[in-house]
Chain A
């Protein structure tokens, strides 16, 4: 059994040796083992026989090519027709990848304040994702540089710590990556790699306090149940600075919108880092380590890094020399309606709708432009669900004449920060540029 007090100390900043899957009775993950040639042949023939069928059955056309009344100018051709897929505990979502699953939320679900659990986007990094958890044996291990290592059951978490709740936007660092020009490799998300939910759980601070973090602790390492398909591949793990981990806002969530988390969203518990990108919101959280040295891992040192400036900006020909781990979300806003297949009519009032968020100062103002940014007008903000929630906005617009319009949206937060007019970086992270939507009114 693991959970010894030297669990994290041994490795002083590296927790690769943690025998996380030794409790085979507790956790099953999708097996990804080297296959024999025979198995591979069978596997490939299955691919061949199923591929065409799947593609034919669940495709929806976004329908905003030249014949359409409306188009997202920035939406690339590759994402024009995307396959839908239905996973357990999920409704039909846009399929980016199937192994591991990455599923995007269709835009229409953003018309409500909270994103339903079954429509909530899904993103995993490595193919060995947890598909079964036995709560009788599941334990959250808290170790490393602490006086009292803990091994907490779900019941412990729910009964020994004060429950807290807040609404927070969970957004993938690579949300909207496919809109960058020039294009960059990676998950080709449009705008649906985010969701707004009410999270309930316990403060990470309270759990760390119970474990009595020792002086000299500088970071907290976080790891989930997902395992890479090969031993040499780095496990997915993240770290937070100790002050951040102990700020009382970071949460270990066991409920999402009043229900337990869907398996694909991190059942039974996940980290919630309000205001920060979801790369830190470690799913199926299984171990927490207090560290007296910085966590050395591909997922902090090489991946999820952005140019060290406000808008994560750099030029393709002059890449930034200094990068930092992605962190707090900047001010960001999108259109939710109209959607690409909708038609706008001259002289008819139309409700433009969207959402805006930032990293925790709260959205104070959202403006739209119907003339490509020459003039701007205020929108009406929706319910304030807290500073870490997105804020819905709405504006009525009656197109005065037939023709083409460039709609734009920009938000301003409580700190007076707004959005840039141009942005690019090599990894397609932290897209926060002022979005435009080209509309043809008939």
Chain B
């Protein structure tokens, strides 16, 4: 039973008029896997999920969920799936308990088991003290939990959660992740997100989608490896010398591949990317001592998942549509990455030490990862 295929997607296409939202997506998910659907906004994650749950029909392709075809046996698919749509739509004028009772009835929980099931989901989702409350008056976090509870009430073998932690605060995210992980032991679970730490924190496997295509599919270790491989160092110096001169001096070092000035609290700071499999720290120390720069910090910086992700999805070493080797783009420091934040960093570099400038820089850099409320995978350069 353990390796039974629960979700099978073959050559799935979905077009909205001329727009190909999902373009030849294929994958298979076994029982007991927790799979993260990862992709930027508009990549086709939600559309794919909507097709898996029989809300939308594919333009072409075949989908089988729990052994049932979504076309021929739509009802059986829907019985087997618990679905939390994006933005957690709920009937806002109902109380939590009424709503869950309604869902239980429609989801065919036998009347004799209803009490027991409701008790179980209320327990798991931690909404015991909110049962009598009108859903519209609940906080976002509690709504999310109610959404999760309604997806679980019929004890489905397959769970499909579309951005289950979006808009939650760090504590709530941690709690929802905990719930998801505990569920993953018995169920097949797909969750979508555009936040990379989310996937790392909860999933066994990741399917990366961009522009409607699968650009990566592999275990979470592959992703983490890619992430580590892009590691660099954050160096902060105190000196009166010009940033550009320091940068040139550092870049001249044999083990250093690239030096990017970043703005950090008035000091000269650089992200140093070493050449592959090299450790330039000793060289850096030496050059600093020789030049008389005072080292404020030299810390290893794991590439943020955002960077790895951009490397994977924006024409990195990994060709579009190729599957199974997201790690192959590790050594590639993609050009797009520079375009994204290169501009403002250059500015900061030229008039360094300006406090306002620093703030702006910090905000810009945060944009990529601000959803990451839990704080996992924060880059040092973001900590201001």
Q: Real complex partners, A and B?
A: no
Q: Spell out B's residues near A (CB within 8 Å).
A: none
**Chain A contact residues, CB within 8 Å of chain B:** none
